[in-house]
Structure 1
Amino acid sequence: MNEISIRTANLEDLKILLEFEQGVIAAEKPLDPFLDDGELFYYNIPELISNKNIHFIVAVANNEIIASGYLRIENSKHYHKNPKHGYIGFIFVKPSFRGNRVSTLILESLKRWATEKELKELRLDVYVGNSGATKSYERFGFIKSLVNMRMDI
């Protein structure tokens, strides 16, 4: 594989990031019966790019954006030991680059930024049925801590 670099996302990346967003949604739709039908959007990508409390990055190989992810600084619950934490989201790797630990490069970069911001904790959400993502996050050092449960009524 060619060398992969990480850089901050910018508004010129919007077209490919909108495609990545649809890739995330396509992967998650079969895992979540609560997602609505039709075209969905999860993210306000321009806001993710411009917000000073969010570090939004992309991975690039051969001048092609191949992956994305962000870390958002959030306030923790008043009863948690860390007053702030980093929330990781929008991890997406183009299918042709999966299995090459590109997500690890994204996560390492986000973790470095969080450390520079003096954060002591990272969090993320992953669907229980998304075993590939779960394994990748566990390999990176994340542990499962809470199960979110729902039901139709």
Structure 2
Amino acid sequence: MSTTNFILREATPNDLPILLQFEQELIKAERPFDITIREDPVSYYDIGQMIPDEDSYVVVVEHDGKIVASGYAQSRRARHYLDHEYYSYLGFMFTLPEFRGKGLNAKIIQALKDWSAKKGLNEMRLTVYDENGPAIKAYEKVGFKKHIIEMRLE
């Protein structure tokens, strides 16, 4: 499987059916890490609203005409005490299992970095479950560093 057969592009409304499937796969994969995720039906994002939103950038990777990976960046207002007013929040990072380990996440993150830079967003953040070792490793590989741990008490 040659990496030249992968095309990264901005998502369109026509991609919504497959992106909604990706969202459900992502939720299914994250359930073991988070007992507080509600029972189905549940949704993380309003992808249909994000695609045309100028403050969001949703991308997909195609292989032979089939969407195999996704991700988004979104401009968000930072907390008032931070040294930046806005930052780029990354999410919806999903790659079909048979396409993992091919550098697609790095390609997506690079595209999201480029979009963020054009928007003047110099700070990028994302959240990942502490127990999700493979995801943490992938993010660290492209330069992310652990920053804060969120804790909970029932």
Normalized against structure 1, the TM-score is what? 0.96
Distance 2:77 2:44 in 1: 21
Deviations 1:55-102 (A, max 9, x none): 111011111111000000011112111111000000000111001111
CA shift at 1:127, angstroms?
A: 0.5
Structure 2 residue corresponding to 1:103, chosen from 100, 105, 129 = 105
CA shift at 1:38, angstroms?
A: 2.6
Residue matched to 1:126: 128
Deviations 1:21-55 (A, max 9, x none): 01110110000011122322111111111111001
SS at match of 1:17: helix
Distance 1:84 1:37 in 2: 33
Percent identity over the alignment? 38
Structure 1 residue corresponding to 2:11, chosen from 2, 5, 9 = 9
Distance 1:40 1:130 in 2: 20
Q: CA RMSD in A?
A: 0.9
Structure 2 residue corresponding to 1:40, chosen from 39, 42, 46 = 42
Question: Is residue 2:61 matched to residue 1:59?
Answer: yes
Distance 2:44 2:83 in 1: 29
SS at match of 2:150: coil
Residue matched to 1:89: 91
Extract structure 1 runs of 4+ deviating beyond 2 A.
none
Residue matched to 2:116: 114
Distance 1:58 1:7 in 2: 6
Residue matched to 1:24: 26
SS at match of 2:67: strand
SS at match of 1:43: coil
Aligned residues: 152
Structure 1 residues not aligned, in runs of 5+: none
